Amino acid sequence: MKLNEEQRMVRDSVRDFLENEIEPELPEADREPLTKAEAIDYMQTMAEIDVGPYSQGGFDDPVTSTIIREEVARVWPSLQVTMGMSMAVEMMDIFSEQTRSAYATERENDELVGCFAITEPAGGSDTKVPNTTAVKEGDEYVINGEKTWVSNAPIADLALVVAWDDEEDRRDMFLVDQKTAPFETTHLEKLGWKGSPTGQMFFDDCRIPEDNKLSRAVMSALSDGRMDPEDSFLGSVTAGSNPLNTMFASMRNGMAAISVGIMQAAYEAALEYATDREVFDKPIGQHQLIQEKLYTIRAGLETSRLLTRHTAERIADGDPETRMLSSLSKGWVCEKSVEVTNEALQIYGGNGLSKEYPLERYYRDARTMTIPDGTTEIQKLVVGYELTDMQAYT
Ligand SMILES: Cc1cc2nc3c(=O)[nH]c(=O)nc-3n(C[C@H](O)[C@H](O)[C@H](O)COP(=O)(O)OP(=O)(O)OC[C@H]3O[C@@H](n4cnc5c(N)ncnc54)[C@H](O)[C@@H]3O)c2cc1C
């Protein structure tokens, strides 16, 4: 798929910026989860990139967003995760006056971090009926429950929380903020995405204004003009019959784009090493089995990039197969990135396992991709359901 001139310009600006401003600090920056101050600093640095109308949140134009995510992840997937999971900040304008005024200064200074809390300890992949509850009391909702494995949780000001709406008897999303309705968090250690903080969240009688319920917030923001019905992100989320599924489609193809970025980095590193490293009196790239690995790596990269960009185009067109394609793309591409980074690491021999080289990080980051935003198994079941109209799980 050929990029147009504008897309090439965006890709080149993001690539130059990342290589000059972010890459020199790696891998040191990736060994510990970002603190809140570091995350804000990096996000403010990223905001300096001149990519015209394309915001880092990435919902303005799915194809260009895909290209941006690839480029950021080519250098540092953890940074893309930290920025991408802050979507609650971008949505803040539609929520209650109370929350907006509590964070007016931080908003003005771009000093806010968000998170998106769906997963629960008991539910895991099964997110249909959350145990976290939102009970209406007067003009407030009282949130109680527990979430786990939430990216950005330990550093988030704003949490978009999926909870069971007791009154409506269905799930909805609620904005809970750390300042006016404090929640507790812990850190979780993990294999990859080391720079991205992940944690558990505990909501104990967190009282939030009724206008912090997403479905209600959208209605009132539309009626008083705070939300433009043409707004591509919120418009697309609220247009679908199942807002969570619509949101997942963008996020899942976004995860595929991160995997493509990791594969691109691994491919470049593997090719360079195969050309430079000499064993048995010739570059290892001249040995047939290493050439086969390069074939596997390049084929995985090319096919994954095509599928991800094709899916982004179909999302942009509002294609009815969006849900199926985004799950196909997330499942297939993220698994492919594990295979590709594994082969690239092997080309480096012992150095592939060394922290002095980036291959072990590419592999750990790729391995992490197959679980968040729905495991590969769940993506297969979504595709199966969309293709057959028969559900393997309820
Ligand atoms: C690094 C990281 C970041 C994350 N970020 C977030 C975040 O920001 N927000 C958030 O809400 N969550 C986040 N998650 C949570 C993630 O979405 C869940 O881990 C994931 O959905 C799987 O849930 P689980 O870990 O409880 O596994 P389980 O649901 O317990 O699954 C265990 C295994 O069983 C398989 N399985 C489950 N059901 C079926 C089935 N019906 N058929 C076949 N196999 C099945 C799974 O595929 C998996 O292999 C993150 C997770 C990680 C690791």
Residue 392 CA, closest ligand 1 atom number? 41
Query: What percentage of residues in the chain have a pLDDT greater than 90?
Result: 78
Banded model confidence at residue 393, pLDDT cuts 50, 70, 90 = confident
Class of domain 243-388: mainly alpha
Q: Cβ < 6 Å from ligand 1: which residues? A: 85, 116-119, 124-125, 149-151, 190, 193, 198, 368, 371-375, 377-378, 381, 393
pLDDT at 237 over 90: no
Banded model confidence at residue 50, pLDDT cuts 50, 70, 90 = low
pLDDT at 25 over 90: no
In CATH terms, are 90-239 and 243-388 the same topology?
no
Fold of 90-239: Butyryl-CoA Dehydrogenase, subunit A; domain 2 (2.40.110)
Residue 208: strand pairing partners: 141
Give residue 288 CA to ligand 1 midpoint distance, Å. 39
pLDDT at 344 over 70: yes
Q: What residue's CA is closest to ligand 1, atom 41?
A: 393
Residue 147 CA, closest ligand 1 atom number? 11
pLDDT at 373 over 90: yes
More confident residue, 247 or 366: 366
pLDDT at 295 over 90: yes
Q: Are 11 and 72 in contact (CB under 8 A)?
A: no
Q: Map out the domains of the chain as residue ranges.
A: 90-239, 243-388
Give the model confidence (pLDDT) of 104-145 as tens digits: 999 999 999 999 999 999 999 999 999 999 999 999 999 999
Banded model confidence at residue 56, pLDDT cuts 50, 70, 90 = very low
Mean pLDDT over all residues of the chain?
Answer: 92
Residue 134: strand pairing partners: 143, 165
More confident residue, 48 or 244: 48
